[in-house]
């Protein structure tokens, strides 16, 4: 099958979170399944700076939304998978991140920026971009690609379209004026677009709704989250719509890159190790302590956090629990960046507990690997978690995840029985209530196991033995794509929207 994979982030070119990792690994895994995959994302400035060898390929015949647009081509790192970059300097060649100059404030013209991106994806998806390539499937990801399923429906002959939601809380909401400026068709498939059954969401235009309503199928990135978002607690106002989507909506868990995240072959970490040489992991703990300017300490349990700093990630729970954690003799290192308020609160806490709590408010791949290898346990108190990758990385590194039992976290971690010397096939510690007391109780259960080396090794090895490979997910996506392909006789003649 020819698959066009549309996304707003792609490891290692541009990354703010797990979406970039998925955009790298899922196409690779799909290729292994025999598919021909091509990727498309915007040509942000940081990416143009990094890639000197870019070639102009596709020709976008007309100006789109009044802008000149071209397509540049590179390959996915270490592969021959083509990556098209939508080059529209007026919209994408600017400083800062993919969504805004700073991580917590979006650009004012994001509707126009990603509206444009969606139009170009649609042109490629219908072989109108001069590439001489027709995808059978357009796989869209998150709100930034939400208009693609809608725009594809303008054409009678169109590829099928899957819309994957990585995080329901990011919806791409814009004003009615932005909607008007995008000059979308008024009606698609008999549905008026400015209507609560389509793009309108409480007086705003919603990109994510466009994706959910008009895609042939919708999925999210774990089975647990797919269930949760049908409730008002997790549905972000879209639970009703997702319920209505019914069987067209499903959950497929992410995998992890087992080459990039391999304690036996990771050039970012201090000392390599594996399940039979777990005693060597301690050198990574010492390296983390040195990196974070904490005194070397073999004994005390070292907790790590590697996270975007947003409300989703529940860092407030850690801040609230800190006095108890410190009293209990637990040390903590935090690597993260994001909301300024959370960053400031962490900095303040670090000043309060020198030598015990240290934070690095940056985004740094190397340190992320080092923390995942060197911490004894990784703390993940997310309020909600569509999938989460770090809990899987941690398990592969014999670093025990301690997490709130939601979404993908609950799907991928098997909880230890409380205070028992028989840990069965447990791989981590879960807490069910999002409260400081529940998290602290989980930490006490963790400490109980940490205090017994044989038990601790058993827990570590159980996590290391888990199989989080992408192959399984790629098969599930293949089955889903297959189920969407039209019977040959349904194919209509071509029409154009000009």
Nearer to ligand GLC, 220 or 427 (CB): 220
**254 near ligand GLC (CB under 6 A):** yes
Please choose, from the candidates 159, 112, 168, the residue with its C-alpha nearest in 3D space to the C-alpha of residue 139. 159
Alpha helices in 280-337 (DSSP H): 281-291, 315-327
Nearer to ligand ADP, 112 or 228 (CB): 228
Structure tokens belonging to residue 361: 């408010």
Given ligand GLC, ligand ADP, none, residue 330, with its beta carbon under 5 to 8 Å by kind, binds none
Give the three-state DSSP class for 10: strand
Please choose, from the candidates 402, 408, 427, the residue with its C-alpha nearest in 3D space to the C-alpha of residue 416. 427
Structure tokens belonging to residue 239: 């639970």
**17 near ligand ADP (CB under 6 A):** yes
Q: What's the DSSP call for residue 247?
A: G
Q: What's the DSSP call for residue 105?
A: B
Determine the size of the site formed for ligand GLC (CB under 6 A): 14
**412 near ligand GLC (CB under 6 A):** no
Q: Which of 83, 241, 294, 387 binds ligand GLC (CB under 6 A)?
A: 387
Q: Which of 4, 6, 10, 22 binds ligand GLC (CB under 6 A)?
A: 22
Q: What's the DSSP call for residue 121?
A: H
Adjacent-strand bridge partners of 337? 308
User: E-strand spans in 296-399?
Assistant: 302-309, 331-338, 357-360, 377-380
Run of H or E residues at 37? strand 36-42
Nearer to ligand GLC, 343 or 385 (CB): 385
Q: How far apart are CA 100 and CA 83, in angstroms?
A: 23
DSSP string computed for 158-194? --EEEEEES-TT---EE-HHHHHHTT--SEETTEESS
Given ligand GLC, ligand ADP, none, residue 336, with its beta carbon under 5 to 8 Å by kind, binds ligand ADP
Q: List the x/- string, 275-314, binding to ligand ADP by CB under 6 A.
A: -------------------------------xxx------
**388 near ligand ADP (CB under 6 A):** yes
Run of H or E residues at 87? strand 82-87
**83 near ligand GLC (CB under 6 A):** no
Contact 22, 76 (CB under 8 A): no
Given ligand ADP, ligand GLC, none, residue 221, with its beta carbon under 5 to 8 Å by kind, binds ligand GLC
Question: Among residue numbers 266 through 305, which ones bind ligand GLC (CB under 6 A)?
Answer: none
Which residues, 6+ apart, have CB-to-CB distance to 14 below 8 Å?
Answer: 20, 41, 44, 46, 47, 97, 98
Q: Which of the stretches 93-101, 127-135, 362-370, 384-392 binds ligand GLC when contact is defined by CB under 6 A?
A: 384-392
Taking the complex as a whole, how short is the minimal distance between the CB of residue 60 and ligand GLC, in angstroms?
29
**97 near ligand ADP (CB under 6 A):** no
Taking the complex as a whole, how short is the minimal distance between the CB of residue 315 and ligand GLC, in angstroms?
14
Given ligand ADP, ligand GLC, none, residue 364, with its beta carbon under 5 to 8 Å by kind, binds ligand ADP
Taking the complex as a whole, how short is the minimal distance between the CB of residue 253 and ligand ADP, in angstroms?
11
Contact 92, 113 (CB under 8 A): yes
Question: Among residue numbers 335 through 364, which ones bind ligand ADP (CB under 6 A)?
Answer: 335-337, 363-364
Interface with ligand GLC (CB under 6 A): 17-19, 22, 166-167, 221, 254, 385-389, 408
Interface with ligand ADP (CB under 6 A): 17-19, 21, 306-308, 335-337, 363-365, 368, 387-390
């Amino acid at each position: 099958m020819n698959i066009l994979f549309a996304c707003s982030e792609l490891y290692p070119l541009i990354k703010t979170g797990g979406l970039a990792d998925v955009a790298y690994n899922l196409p690779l895994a799909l290729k292994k399944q025999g598919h021909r995959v091509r990727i498309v994302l915007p040509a942000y400035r940081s990416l143009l700076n990094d890639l000197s060898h870019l070639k102009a390929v596709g020709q976008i015949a007309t100006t789109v939304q009044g802008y000149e647009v071209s397509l540049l081509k590179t390959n996915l790192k270490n592969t021959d998978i083509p990556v098209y970059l939508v080059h529209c300097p007026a919209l994408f060649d600017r400083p800062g991140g993919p969504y805004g100059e700073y991580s917590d404030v979006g650009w004012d013209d994001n509707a126009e920026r990603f509206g444009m991106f969606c139009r170009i994806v649609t042109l490629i998806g219908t072989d109108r971009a001069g590439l001489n390539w027709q995808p059978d499937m357009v796989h869209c990801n998150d709100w930034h690609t939400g208009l693609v399923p809608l725009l594809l429906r303008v054409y009678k002959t169109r590829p099928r379209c899957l819309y994957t939601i990585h995080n329901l809380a990011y919806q791409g909401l814009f004003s009615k004026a932005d909607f008007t400026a995008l000059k979308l068709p008024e009606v698609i498939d008999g549905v008026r677009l400015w209507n609560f059954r389509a793009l309108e969401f409480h007086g705003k235009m919603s990109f994510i709704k466009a994706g959910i309503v008009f895609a042939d199928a919708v999925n999210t990135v774990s089975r647990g989250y797919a269930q949760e978002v049908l409730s008002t607690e997790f549905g972000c106002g879209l639970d009703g719509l997702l319920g209505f989507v019914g069987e067209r909506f499903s959950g497929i868990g992410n995998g992890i890159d087992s080459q990039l995240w391999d304690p036996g072959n990771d050039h970012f970490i201090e000392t390599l190790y594996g399940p039979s040489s777990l005693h060597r992991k301690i050198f990574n703990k010492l390296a983390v302590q040195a990196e974070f300017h904490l005194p070397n300490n073999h004994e005390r349990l070292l907790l790590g956090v590697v996270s975007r700093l947003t409300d989703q990630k529940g860092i407030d729970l850690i801040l609230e629990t800190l006095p108890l954690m410190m009293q209990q003799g637990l040390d903590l290192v935090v690597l993260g960046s994001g909301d300024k308020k959370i960053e400031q609160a962490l900095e303040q806490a670090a000043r309060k507990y020198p030598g015990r709590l240290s934070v690095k408010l940056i985004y740094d791949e190397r340190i992320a690997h080092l923390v995942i290898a060197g911490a004894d346990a990784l703390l993940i108190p997310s309020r909600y978690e569509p999938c989460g990758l770090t809990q899987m990385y941690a398990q592969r590194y014999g670093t025990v995840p301690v997490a709130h039992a939601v979404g993908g976290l609950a799907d991928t971690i098997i909880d230890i029985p409380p205070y028992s010397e028989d840990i069965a096939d447990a791989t981590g510690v879960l807490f069910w209530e999002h409260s400081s007391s529940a998290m602290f109780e989980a930490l006490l259960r963790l400490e109980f196991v940490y205090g017994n080396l044989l038990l601790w090794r058993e827990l570590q090895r159980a996590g290391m033995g888990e199989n989080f490979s992408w192959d399984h997910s790629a098969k599930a996506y293949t089955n889903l794509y297959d189920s969407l392909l039209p019977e040959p006789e349904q194919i209509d003649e071509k029409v154009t929207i000009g």
